[in-house]
Amino acid sequence: MKEDIQKLLDGIVLGLTDKECSAEILRTKSELHGDWTSNIAMVLSKELNKNPQELAKEIISQIKKIEWLEKVEIAGPGFINFFLTRDASLKYLKKLIREDTSYFPINEKEPKNILVEYVSCNPTGPIHVGHGRGAAFGSALSNLLIRAGNKVTQEYYVNDRGLQSETLGLSVFLRYQMLFEIDVHFPDDCYQGDYVKETAAKAKKLFKENFVLTNPDGFNKIKNFNEMNAFVKNNFKDFDLLINFSIEEEIKKIKEDLKKFRVNHNVWFNESTLYNQSGSKENDFEITRKNLEAKNNLFEKEGATWFSSSKYGDEKDRVFIRENSEPTYFASDIAYHNLKYQRNFDLLINVWGADHHGYLPRIEGAIKALKLDTNILKTIFIQFVSLLKKGKLVSMSTRAGEFITLSSLIDEVGIDAARFFFLARKGDQSLDFDLDLATAENKNNPVYYIQYAYARICSLEKELVKRGMSFDIEEGIENLSKLNDSQESEIISFIESYQDVLEQSYRDLEIHPICFYLRDLASKFHTYYNSEVIIDEDSKTRNAKYVLLLGIKRTIKNGFDLLSISTPEKM
């Protein structure tokens, strides 16, 4: 009905001004104020230099009798409230039931080709809880974008080169020596987790004795991490094989954890491919470097190559290529973003951890330096996660220095609860994840409460069959007018408001409003279910109530499908 009201007002505005009007049409918070309200009179009053209330009267006077409109009133300083007829208020529910679960459109007039890059944590260990929040958000956001008809590529950027990759390789190398009962020093700079030992065991099985130290005593005289790393690279020419194997093993585990968490990237982009040359064509890093150089954005200082980041709003210039001729992570990221632009996407979305806030001005500066359009890049920051148990903060790392993994969280609270709790808070706000609440089987646990609403409706359907009672959807639709108490009217209106929540979430690239809506819908359902006789002896009333519950059921199903959360029929 919002579109109908919009068309009505647009026609009236054309007779008052030739300028575009950015008035709002919103649902009222109370049925006493009608179904919809608009601030159009207040917006136009400034432009037309008229009193808002007088202008509202003028607008109303031009509204002719319409079959779906019961009455129009002026409220407060000039709001125009629209009261719909009973048939009009039932229009959405009828269409929802008749068109089944396919009826939840999002109005995108020009579908886009969108790249969503998310998670992208270094493949040097398991995914931890913080990464899990970004994973849940990125996947749910992708679902929402797809629902609107966009073509969406979900991408994971794999940092498979540089110092952290070498650190993983050296960590596995040292644990590998220990499997041959060679006593070696294990520096604090190495990765300490048990997962390194697991990878080392696989490396031993694959490489046999290929990487065994022949002079461990000489090696053990080296205590410095960098010197140790240099020694291994100099004495084992195939050390890259071990590094690459170690990275591939960690990526396998990451993919397994993400798949378990209902996250499915369709592109895994390796940083190393930026440096791979294809035939006579220069690699992507060189193309980017020469582009920046041609525009006088690179300079030499102290033996390194620097990017003139300060010219584009950054607090200082940044190293692009180190003294040892190795590109920095920042340089790789510039090349990666440059390549993203060359892949002809209409919108580029980065989902980054909050610790990357300071990194964005550098990337945006580089994009400006490359003469690319910063308007098609949208970066969403996901804040940190804290775990609570019995009201107290849980240490996020173990004694071995490992962060609590996403996999262990899933094992404790389940996939559904983990996803919902991650998504139910605005991404740029920090999250206190209550482990006790996430496993509670009561109304205080929102995901349980919503799933229970769905399961109760499924149980009702089974009970109708058990009693030999018909549930005739068409009869129910034709008799929806029987649902005329305030509680039923409120639910009917609230079901329709789901469309607004979807549209707003899509425009704002946010997911938490969907979670809030589903929680409120479940609450309204449980209150209604507990206070009403649903299985009425009168078939017309019974089927009308069933249609109402079916509308709730399908809305919950649609919302949870977007969030990749299950809807069990029995609990």
Identify the pLDDT of residue 218: 85
Identify the pLDDT of residue 86: 78
The answer to whether 2-84 and 118-275+383-439 have equal CATH topology is no
Q: What's the token pair of residue 286?
A: 């060189």
Those residues whose C-beta lies under 8 Å from the C-beta of residue 554, and which sit 6 or more positions away, are 96, 97, 100, 101
Identify the pLDDT of residue 103: 62
97 close to 87: Cβ distance less than 8 angstroms: no
Those residues whose C-beta lies under 8 Å from the C-beta of residue 343, and which sit 6 or more positions away, are 115
Can you give 145-160 as a three-state secondary structure string? HHHCCCEEEEEEEECC
Class of domain 446-563: mainly alpha
Superfamily of 2-84 according to CATH: Arginyl tRNA synthetase N-terminal domain (3.30.1360.70)
Sheet holding 304-307, edge to edge: 298-301, 304-307, 318-321
Q: What is the largest CA-CA distance in the chain?
A: 96
Report the C-alpha gap between 101 and 96 in whole angstroms: 7
Identify the pLDDT of residue 189: 86
Residue indicated by tokens 């647009």: 10
Q: What's the token pair of residue 37?
A: 């309200």
If DSSP codes are grouped into helix, strand and coil, which group holds residue 324? coil
**What φ, ψ does residue 116 adopt, rounded to 5°?**
-115, 110
16 close to 61: Cβ distance less than 8 angstroms: no
Per DSSP, the residues of 394-450 read: EPSB-TTSPBPBHHHHHHHH-HHHHHHHHHSS-TTS-EEEEHHHHH--STTSHHHHH
Identify the pLDDT of residue 402: 64
The strand pairing partners of 153, in sequence order, are 115
Quickly name the fold that domain 118-275+383-439 has: Rossmann fold (3.40.50)
Residue indicated by tokens 């069933």: 546
In 3D space, the residue among 476, 447, 460 whose CA is nearest the CA of residue 547 turns out to be 476
In 3D space, the residue among 267, 272, 254 whose CA is nearest the CA of residue 155 turns out to be 267
Identify the pLDDT of residue 108: 84
Amino acid present at 110: E
Residues in the chain, pLDDT under 70: 19, 100-103, 279-280, 397-402
Give CA separation, 301 vs 307, 312, 320, 370, in Å.
10, 19, 11, 21
Identify the pLDDT of residue 397: 63
If DSSP codes are grouped into helix, strand and coil, which group holds residue 299? strand
346 close to 112: Cβ distance less than 8 angstroms: yes
In 3D space, the residue among 275, 273, 256, 278 whose CA is nearest the CA of residue 265 turns out to be 256
Q: Which helix H or strand E contains 341, and what residues bound it?
A: helix 329-342
548 close to 93: Cβ distance less than 8 angstroms: yes
Report the C-alpha gap between 99 and 473 in whole angstroms: 12
Can you give 72-140 as a three-state secondary structure string? EEEECCCEEEEEECHHHHHHHHHHHHHCHHHCCCCCCCCCCEEEEECCCCCCCCCCEHHHHHHHHHHHH
If DSSP codes are grouped into helix, strand and coil, which group holds residue 506? helix
pLDDT in tens, 512-552: 999 999 999 999 999 999 988 878 778 899 899 999 999 99
Report the C-alpha gap between 518 and 513 in whole angstroms: 9
Identify the pLDDT of residue 280: 64
The full set of domain ranges for the chain reads 2-84, 118-275+383-439, 446-563
Report the C-alpha gap between 309 and 311 in whole angstroms: 5
In 3D space, the residue among 19, 27, 8 whose CA is nearest the CA of residue 48 turns out to be 19
The mean of the pLDDT values for the chain is 90
C-alpha R_g of the chain: 30
Per DSSP, the residues of 204-265 read: HHHHTTTT--S-HHHHTT---HHHHHHHHHHH-TTHHHHHHHHHHHHHHHHHHHHHHTT---
Contacts of the segment 196-199: beta carbons below 8 A, 24+ positions apart? 196/168, 196/171, 196/172, 199/172, 199/175, 199/245, 199/246, 199/249, 199/250
Q: Which helix H or strand E contains 267, and what residues bound it?
A: strand 267-270
401 close to 193: Cβ distance less than 8 angstroms: yes
